[in-house]
Amino acid sequence: MLRLLDLQKQLILTHLKAGDTAVDFTMGNGHDTEFLSKTVGEKGQVYAFDIQAAAVESTRENLKAALCPENYTLIHDSHHRVKEYVKGEIRAGMFNLGYLPGGDKSITTMRETTLPAIQAAVSMLGANSILSVAVYPGHEEGEAEGKLVCEYLSTLDRFRYSVAQIRIINSPTSPYFMAIETK
């Protein structure tokens, strides 16, 4: 069975190398943060954002248990404030929109902050960089969020960015992701 999140990580690996800077815009339980931390290694830097204190603590524990290098900064704040914390260009960024797995489903990423966060992320991408945005259209906000993100990404200059949408077309409520690569 095709696992889209595995494909998402494979695309990230075509750009992200040891020593790079990456951002997990929706840290959740820290699985993407762990992946980014191990990929950039001791000389790299990872920033991870979440508005829920439980997500930050869960991620901190998971990163220590996974023996990740201490190359990460966990930020208890909204991802749309990324430029207040991260200076300069990033090589990769990951968004997993929706709610915290195993958490309160009433707390979810919202269009009002997701779009500004993605706009900021796109503006921070250096040359030969990538941003991935996983969307979960199985709930009302997720579907609306996905449409809004798609509309925005379709306006990006095709001479500077390549934007792809990867989804299982015979399962309309299944998660999908978009990949934005700089040229």
Q: What is the pLDDT of residues 140-180, one digit of tens each?
A: 888 899 999 999 999 999 999 999 999 988 988 889 999 99
Query: How many other CB atoms are there within 10 angstroms of residue 103's CB atom?
Result: 15
If pLDDT is split at 50, 70 and 90, which confidence band does 112 have? confident
Instruction: Give me the mean pLDDT over the 22-51 stretch.
Output: 97
Residue 166: its pLDDT value, please?
94
If pLDDT is split at 50, 70 and 90, which confidence band does 107 have? confident
Residue 139: its pLDDT value, please?
80
CATH superfamily, region 4-100+113-182:
Vaccinia Virus protein VP39 (3.40.50.150)
User: Which of these, 34, 95, 42, lies nearest to 62 by C-alpha position?
Assistant: 34
**What's the chain's Rg over C-alpha atoms?**
15
If pLDDT is split at 50, 70 and 90, which confidence band does 102 have? low
**Each residue of 42-98: pLDDT tens digit?**
999 999 999 999 999 999 999 999 999 999 999 999 999 999 999 999 999 999 988
Residue 145: its pLDDT value, please?
92
End-to-end CA distance of the chain: 31
Residue 1: its pLDDT value, please?
60
What are the residue ranges spanned by the domains of the chain?
4-100+113-182
pTM tops 0.85, yes or no: yes
Q: What per-residue string of b and e applies to 113-126 under the rule 16 or more CB within 10 Å gives b?
A: ebbbbbebbbebbe
C-alpha distances in Å from residue 110, one per residue of 11, 128, 140, 162: 25, 29, 11, 25
